[in-house]
Structure 1
Amino acid sequence: MKRTIDFILAAAGLLVLALPVCIIYVLVRWKLGSPAFFRQTRPGLHGKPFELVKFRSMTDEVHKLDSERITPFGQFLRSTSLDEIPQLWNVLKGDMSLIGPRPLLMSYLPLYTPEQMRRHNVRPGISGWAQVNGRCAVSWEEKFRLDIWYVDNQSFWLDVKIFFLTIKKVLIRQNVVGVDVNGIPFTGTSAESSSGK
């Protein structure tokens, strides 16, 4: 049932947002150059790799830090989550769901504890329980705890709740998506943390 709902809503979203997507595409090409889309391999269901797509928000100046490569326009795309719209295509293809743990980096897979790896027991989502519960204000361990809580408690009504909380946070410009917590890469969980000490 969830896959069917995802497909219908993603298809409807792409149709409704077709004109804004075209406008954003032209603006990204004009302000940031080509290609307009950022593509990166991320782990999906059961850790299977897929190509995530979003609008690019950085310049090509590889010798600079990421924070230096984000232009005001790119920051606007991120703060409004407009850069995430192309992920509806990932949902339509079945790589992602509208709601689920955010897909992180392939390089993180060997760093997860067995418990943290359970976040891949469901399809990754455009937004998730961790994203609407203080994504940037919590540690990696807390983020993963929220992801696992979602895996163990997922339901139609929980997804509806997350969906509307996401809309609320987007409207008030709270960033609800992204890869790193406060820009800090995940480097693994210490034995003490994983054992609850």
Structure 2
Amino acid sequence: ISVNLKEIVLKSESNDIWEAFSSVTGPKEVTAGDTLLPPGVKAIDKSQYIATITQPISLIIELGIERDRGYRLENLSKSQDGQFPIDAVFMPVRNVNYSIHLFGNGNVTQEISFFEIWTNGSLTPQEALIEASSKIVDLLSPFLQIRFLTTYVLENRKKSFDLERSASSRFYPGNATKPD
């Protein structure tokens, strides 16, 4: 059951921590659609299989829902009686292919990039590309600051060197000695 619960893909614009409940009496096949989700949270595939109840018994599941990035391993030793923490997968992008092609006419040649993006449905490929592009800009922007800082320092050193050289040439033209 815990492996199947981990496969449920949810979508929410909120960063809040939510609780969801599923209370089902068998015999029945339990799916994500049987889970009562809070407002603003939706299951991408309501037919996602969770479990099959073959006897007339009740299955009650309480879920904690939150938004995050990457993959998180849960510590099983910290669980309480009746709780079974499951590892969380926060990776909506399933696969990406890209290719770069040259195109142009005559003397002008440019490059064009093609991206194929597959997601789990919690965001669109376009949203994934926009978010990834934004992260790349954020990651690389410190290098732009270094370039500007380096340019500023080099320009100031050059100005300082030029001032020293002009002062030197004023006081020490050629091999002459400094005037009194």
TM-score by length of structure 2 reads 0.23
Does 1 or 2 have the higher relative contact order (CA < 8 Å, sep 6+)? 1
Q: Higher Cα Rg: structure 1 or 2?
A: 2
TM-score by length of structure 1 reads 0.22
| Structure (1/2) with the larger helix percentage | 1
